[in-house]
């Protein structure tokens, strides 16, 4: 059993890892075709995996309804929302699923008038969370916190029109902070992340890192 659960996945990871790493350096048409085929396979497999996700979601919420755990009423909305989305999606404005997706149907209405506003609402909460995080964080308790506070105030003021009204040099200083020390830190992190990603990829390709397969060695 270990052969199918461990050895074969490791062999596949090794072959595909080496192949796709070298594919980057080969501009020939055959290499580009290989990349297209592999990408399409990945999309196809991901498409099948949607059923696994849907099963997990429905199974979890069905159990909550069955056991009447606290908050089980909200789980009904999962089935209600999924149900009417599937119904209107299959109805397809009267053309049903045998034809291409139609525009301006109830399916589109639900997406643009329910899901998009709900997502935008969640996104808009960010502004308030930023304010509360800033209130907690921008305290001059240590020297590093003081530098953070001063830099944050300069950048925030320098990015809005009133900053130029307060002091004409605020926007250029804010730009300098963003384009010099901030950019240096960002690039430093990126260099470390890139090297770490290559090392992690090599560990996975050569089968040294196997925790993603589950269990011990």
Encoded one letter per residue, x for contact with another protein by CB under 8 A and - for no contact, window 164-203 reads ----------------------x--xxxxx-xxxxxxxxx
> Per CB under 8 A, does 1 bind another protein?
no
Q: Are 204 and 17 in contact (CB under 8 A)?
A: yes
Buried b (16+ CB within 10 A) or exposed e, 101-138: eeeebebeebeeeeeeeeeeeeeeeeeeeeeeeeeeee
Residue whose CB is less far from another protein, 93 or 207? 207
Q: What is the DSSP string of 112-127?
A: IIIIHHHHHHHHHHHH
Q: Are 189 and 183 in contact (CB under 8 A)?
A: no
Residue whose CB is less far from another protein, 35 or 164? 35
Residue whose CB is less far from another protein, 108 or 164? 108
Q: Are 160 and 143 in contact (CB under 8 A)?
A: no
Q: Which of 52, 100, 104, 143 binds another protein (CB under 8 A)?
A: 52
Contacts 24+ apart (CB under 8 A), 144-151: 151/177
CB of 197 to another protein, least distance (A): 5
Closest C-alpha among 181, 163, 183 to residue 172:
163
CB of 130 to another protein, least distance (A): 6
Token pair 């992690």 in the structure block, residue: 200
Query: In the range 59-78, which residues lie near another protein by CB under 8 A?
Result: 59-60, 63, 70-71, 74
> Per CB under 8 A, does 132 bind another protein?
yes
- Chain positions contacting another protein, by CB under 8 A: 21, 24-32, 42, 45-46, 49-54, 56-57, 59-60, 63, 70-71, 74, 115, 118-119, 122-123, 125-126, 129-130, 132-134, 136-137, 186, 189-193, 195-204, 206, 208-209, 211-216
């Amino acid at each position: 059993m270990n052969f199918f659960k461990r050895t074969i996945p490791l062999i596949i990871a090794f072959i595909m890892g080496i192949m796709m790493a070298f594919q980057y350096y080969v501009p020939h048409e055959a290499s580009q075709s290989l990349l297209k085929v592999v990408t399409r396979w990945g999309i196809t497999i991901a498409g099948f995996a949607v059923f696994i996700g849907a099963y997990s979601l429905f199974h979890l919420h069905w159990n909550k309804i069955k056991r009447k755990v606290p908050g089980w009423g909200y789980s009904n909305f999962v089935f209600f929302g999924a149900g009417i989305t599937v119904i209107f999606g299959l109805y397809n404005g009267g053309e049903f699923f045998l034809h291409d997706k139609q525009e301006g149907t109830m399916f589109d209405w639900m997406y643009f008038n329910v899901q998009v506003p709900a997502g935008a609402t969640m996104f808009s909460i960010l502004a308030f969370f930023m304010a509360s995080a800033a209130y907690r964080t921008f305290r001059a308790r240590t020297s590093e916190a003081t530098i953070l506070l001063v830099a944050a105030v300069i950048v925030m003021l320098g990015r809005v029109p009133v900053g130029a009204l307060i002091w004409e040099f605020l926007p250029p200083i804010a730009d300098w902070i963003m384009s010099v020390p901030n950019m240096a830190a960002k690039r430093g992190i990126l260099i470390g992340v890139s090297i770490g990603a290559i090392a992690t990829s090599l560990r996975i390709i050569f089968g040294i890192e196997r925790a993603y397969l589950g269990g011990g060695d």
